A and B are shown apart, each in its own frame.
Chain A
Amino acid sequence: MPSIEKPPIQHPGLRRNSLGLTIHDYEGSMSTLCAGCGHDSVTAAIVHALWEMETPPHRIAKLSGIGCSAKTTAYFARGAHGFNTAHGRMATIATGAAAANRDLLYIGISGDGDSLSIGLGHLAHLIRRNVRMVYIIENNGVYGLTKGQFSPSADVGSTTKRGDPNQVPPIDPMSLGLSLGATFLARGFSGDKRQLVPIIKAAAAHRGLALIDVISPCVTFNDHEGSTKSYLFTRHHDTTATESDFVPPAPEIVASIPVEGVVSVTMHDGSVLRVRSVPDDYDPTDREGVAEHLRRAHAAGDVVTGLLYIDESSADLHEMHDTTDQPLRDIPFSQLCPGSAVLAGFGVR
């Protein structure tokens, strides 16, 4: 436990965004995670992204399940709405919330255990429905909260702290997403905010589900020599597929100027995501090509990071179902629930 709350210092050099908010205004309560946990850095990246995007905190809804990762929604955007669901159930609650109120920015925080074990079925359907939200998996290869058992993302051969190797093949959320029709897939590393912050901003602007797999080392149970999710291993095996640059909506956007190796995607809200391929032939809009790249990289033991796949044209949940433009809470009750007479009318045909 930290000895003190973070001092709320308003020094003269502190910058404010157009809402007059400082970066501290996007923080939450003090983290009670282990000192050095990667999850805290992901939190810091989210705080940065939200401050830079100038999102009003009350327009944000934070959702999570159970796990060390799930605790982190308490550590950012203290003025936001929030829902800590049951283990693995965040996807379902998020689907319901997004269907009911399409106006909020949904940020879901999950773990590799939460999403790929108990919650895998829910995650699969969330992807298929293309629910508009940012979904971050803080991936450390273990169940941190329950003291370090292998999770479904642990690589074959990766060992426990005591040295026992994992023998069960891993689930890669990115490959899974590709096969289920995901429209925004990215992988980051908690130790690289320069890469992660623009990805989070692009994810928030994406029309549909943005799934971000962040390698986020568990410093207590999985940061040892035999681990393939440690700080050192990730640094040594990180191979960047793309570098991205997020340009917020502006009157004149220079996105149209073609630059070689750069894919410019105009997002739903008018912002522009510029994605530069690092291997020349990497194309983040080619679902088959990306899947192949990931397969090869996995075989070579590489951790591919960057914005991996994007498709801004597919319909999201609301378009697929042709729902009303308004959040349900803005529709008068008499209209939402017109009474049994109207219902009865449907039956007679």
Chain B
Amino acid sequence: MKATDTGDPAYFHRVVDCQWACPAHTDVPEYIRLIAQGRFTDAYMVNRESNVFPAILGRTCDRPCEPACRRERVDGTPVAICRLKRVAADHRDDIGERLPAIPRTKNGRRIACVGAGPASLTVANDLLPLGYEVAMFEQHATPGGLMRTNIPSFRLPSRVLDEEVDVILDMGVDIRYDSPVTSMRALLDTGYDAVFIGSGAPRGKELDLPGRHDTDRIHVGIDWLQSIAFGHVDTVGERVLIIGVGNTAMDCCRSSLRLGGTDIRVMARRPRPFFKASSWELDDAEEEGVHIMVNHAPKRFVVEGGRLVGMEFERLEWDENARTSSVIDTVLLPCDDVILAIGQDNAFPWIERDLGMNFDGDVPVVDKTTMQSSLPNVFFGGDSAFGPKNIIWAVEQAHQAAISIHNLCQGLAVDERPPVLMNLMSKAMGLGQWSYHNDYNPAHRQKMTHVELTNRFRALDIEVELGFTAEQTAREVQRCLNCDIETVFSAPLCIECDACIDVCPVQCLTITADGTETDVRARLSAPAVNPAQSLFASSALPQTGRLMIKDEDLCVHCGLCAERCPTAAWDMQKFTLLLPTAGLAVPMGAH
């Protein structure tokens, strides 16, 4: 096997499963340790450096980090990474002093942002400290994008949203409310050095079935949620059908319950394993009494005398992988309102197609790394770039766009990306002493407490999740396995005594003869059940020429290998990913 190149930051980064899975590469274990020490503001700032909106994300993030979490492989449930983020945010002190200074003298470059959603706000957050002037055009009278207009306030209170959005606006954004951009040509003609388009994916998908336009009680989900957010809608019929079973559908059904709906059904075409909604969103909706009905395909809206009376569905039977279906029969479900939550499309009616910007059908061609369009000074990010995703992807793409804009304005090639670097620092303090909590805590994942069902629906904006108590926090932080405290191996020091192999509680180490990877995998101390996880291979060991192999899959970073090694061939070292941001490479977690 080829010796693993641990000089490449990607190797150790990949070991930190959560940080690797996080689109913005938040230094999760570092902030969890800070929470454990009661350093909430520090923990908040570690988050803010990469994800910009810790309080918002601590409540709403799609959390791709959690399914990736090593703890899930070790004891079946991931660390409650997202809810710990909220703990840091809820208990932070004023962060005013820790924010980057905004230069009085500007650098002479002017940037326009279309939309005031998380993507545009992140671009402003990254560029204002570098002396840029940022003008932001928003069609509505309030900032925040879908975070304000679509994420219901029972999941994300407006106070929480306002605080984090205001921090950025207060850095000196030239925000123009009620200013829809209606012509890209006109905007380009204004002479901005660069334009960032963070206008989202604003169009809800239609369901053109018979009866669709014969009543005003059929609503497009994202528009309907927006009307609720702006106070234009405050009631709904008793019986509501939601079409679609993604996250938007979950917000629609739970909002219905708060507007007077009592019999709420979410209609799914396919069986449960194929739902798009996150499992926790489904759980929360079902806890509130929403019925989810599988294998129902919409057929027509039944409108009698201009009044919506129900909807007809075909009941389906699917094959095993839900690829092909056959119709069993047709059923009529009576209802007062129908809400369509079957997806969103990008729409750019305001971008003229003769500007030289390449489109692929209705969507602009955007580079995945630089976020640049085919017009060199126009960049995209967030839902506008590649269709609807989530907040954390919007933030990450905006960080990349900011780097590109900075490069462009400095006369550098936009594809000359600043390097990703790392720091490694030993955590050894003495014999058998580490400057991190290396013991394994068998605690189970803490369950979030919710407001009592009896009190929950009194108002639209009662936040359902109460947050972790101090006791829950204390328990949950200890579940983190400190994956960023890496096992770093030095082959020339090893005397092949086997001490590390013998002590490892999960048998992830092996000393064995060289061979092909398949061959070596067959000789491990414990079978490598997870091929998605890296296998570390050392260079040849001095005494026998064999290799030290480590299967990263289940390592709990207990440090026992390093502790029992007589020669310090293994050491436990804190890995810090130095992620570049626009302007400079700032060490994540530097504070």
Cβ contact within 8 Å between B527 and A41: no
Q: Check A36/B505 contact, CB under 8 A, given A4-B560, A11-B75.
A: no
Complex: A4 Cα to B567 Cα, angstroms: 20
* CB <8 Å contact, B526 and A36: no
| A59 at the B interface (CB under 8 A) | no
Q: Which residue of A lies closest to B507 (CB)?
A: A23
CB atoms of A2 and B432 under 8 A apart: yes
Question: Given A9-B506, A36-B564, A44-B502, do A3 and B554 touch, yes or no (CB 8 Å)?
Answer: no
**Nearest B-chain residue to A223, judged by Cβ:** B495
Chain B residues within an 8 Å CB radius of A13: 526-527, 529, 554
Contact across chains for A217 and B497 when beta carbons are under 8 A apart: yes
Q: How far is the CA of A217 from the CA of B567 in the complex (A)?
A: 14
Q: Give the distance to chain A from B220, nearest Cβ to Cβ, in Å.
A: 44
* B567 A36 Cβ-Cβ under 8 A: yes
A119 at the interface (CB under 8 A from B): no
Q: How many whole Å from B73's CB to the nearest CB in chain A?
A: 7
Which residues does chain B contribute within 8 Å of A24, judged by CB atoms?
505
Q: Are A3 and B433 in contact (CB under 8 A)?
A: yes
Also in contact, A6 and B505, with CB within 8 A (given A35-B565, A231-B495): yes
Alpha-carbon separation in the docked complex, A36 to B496 (Å) = 9
A273 to nearest B CB, angstroms? 24
What is the interface residue range for chain A against chain B?
Answer: 35 or more
A203 to B503, alpha carbons, bound, how many Å?
Answer: 25
- Nearest A residue to B501 by beta-carbon distance? A44
Chain A binding surface, main DSSP class = loop
Proximity bits, B86-100, A CB within 8 Å = 1, else 0: 000000000000000
Distance in Å from the Cβ of A280 to the closest Cβ of chain B? 25
The answer to whether A191 touches B497, judged by C-beta atoms less than 8 angstroms apart, is: yes
Interface of chain A residues 135 through 191 with chain B (CB within 8 A): 190-191
Interface residues of B in 74-89 (CB under 8 A from A): 74-76
Contacts of A2 in B (CB 8 A): 432, 560, 563-564
A1 on the interface (CB 8 Å rule)? yes
Q: How many residues of B contact A (CB 8 A)?
A: 38
For the complex, what is the distance from the CA of A38 to the CA of B497, rounded to whole Å?
Answer: 7
Given A13-B526, A13-B529, A36-B499, A7 and B567 contact (CB-CB distance below 8 Å): no
- Considering the complex, which residues of chain B in the window 476-523 have a beta carbon less than 8 Å from any beta carbon of chain A? 495-499, 501-503, 505-507
Q: How many angstroms between the C-alpha atoms of A31 and B499 in the bound complex? A: 11
Q: Which residues of B contact A31 (CB under 8 A)?
A: 503, 564
Report Cα–Cα, A235/B499, bound state, in Å. 17
Determine if B497 and A7 form an interchain contact, defined as CB atoms under 8 angstroms apart.
Answer: no
Can you name the residue of chain A whose Cβ is closest to the Cβ of B563? Answer: A2
The reply on A339 being an interface residue by CB < 8 A is: no
Beyond A3-B559, A4-B558, A40-B564, is A35–B505 a contact (Cβ under 8 Å)? Answer: no
A9 to B440, Cβ gap below 8 A?
yes
**A217–B558 CA distance with the chains assembled, in angstroms:** 26
Assuming the contacts A6-B503, A12-B76, A235-B544, asked whether A36 and B527 have C-beta atoms less than 8 A apart, the reply is no
Q: Which residues of A in the span 1-42 have a Cβ within 8 Å of any Cβ on B?
A: 1-13, 15, 23-24, 31, 34-38, 40-41
Q: Is A128 part of the binding interface, using a Cβ–Cβ cutoff of 8 Å?
A: no
B566 within 8 A of A: yes
Question: Which residues of the other chain, A, contact B529 by a CB distance below 8 angstroms?
Answer: 13
Closest to A44 in B: B502
Is A1 a contact partner of B498 (Cβ separation < 8 A)? no
8 nearest CB pairs, A to B? A36-B566, A7-B440, A44-B502, A36-B497, A4-B439, A3-B432, A41-B498, A35-B564
Ordered by A's residue number, 30 sampled pairs between the chains whose C-beta atoms are within 8 Å are A2-B432, A2-B560, A7-B505, A7-B556, A7-B558, A9-B75, A9-B506, A9-B554, A9-B556, A11-B73, A11-B75, A11-B506, A12-B76, A13-B529, A24-B505, A31-B503, A35-B499, A36-B499, A36-B567, A37-B497, A40-B498, A41-B497, A41-B499, A190-B497, A190-B498, A193-B498, A231-B495, A231-B543, A232-B495, A235-B543
Interface residues of A (CB under 8 A from B): 1-13, 15, 23-24, 31, 34-38, 40-41, 43-44, 190-191, 193, 217, 219, 223, 231-232, 235
- Given contacts A8-B505, A24-B505, 18 further A-B pairs with CB under 8 A are A1-B432, A4-B440, A6-B560, A9-B74, A23-B507, A35-B563, A35-B566, A36-B495, A36-B564, A36-B566, A40-B499, A44-B501, A44-B502, A190-B497, A191-B496, A231-B543, A235-B496, A235-B543
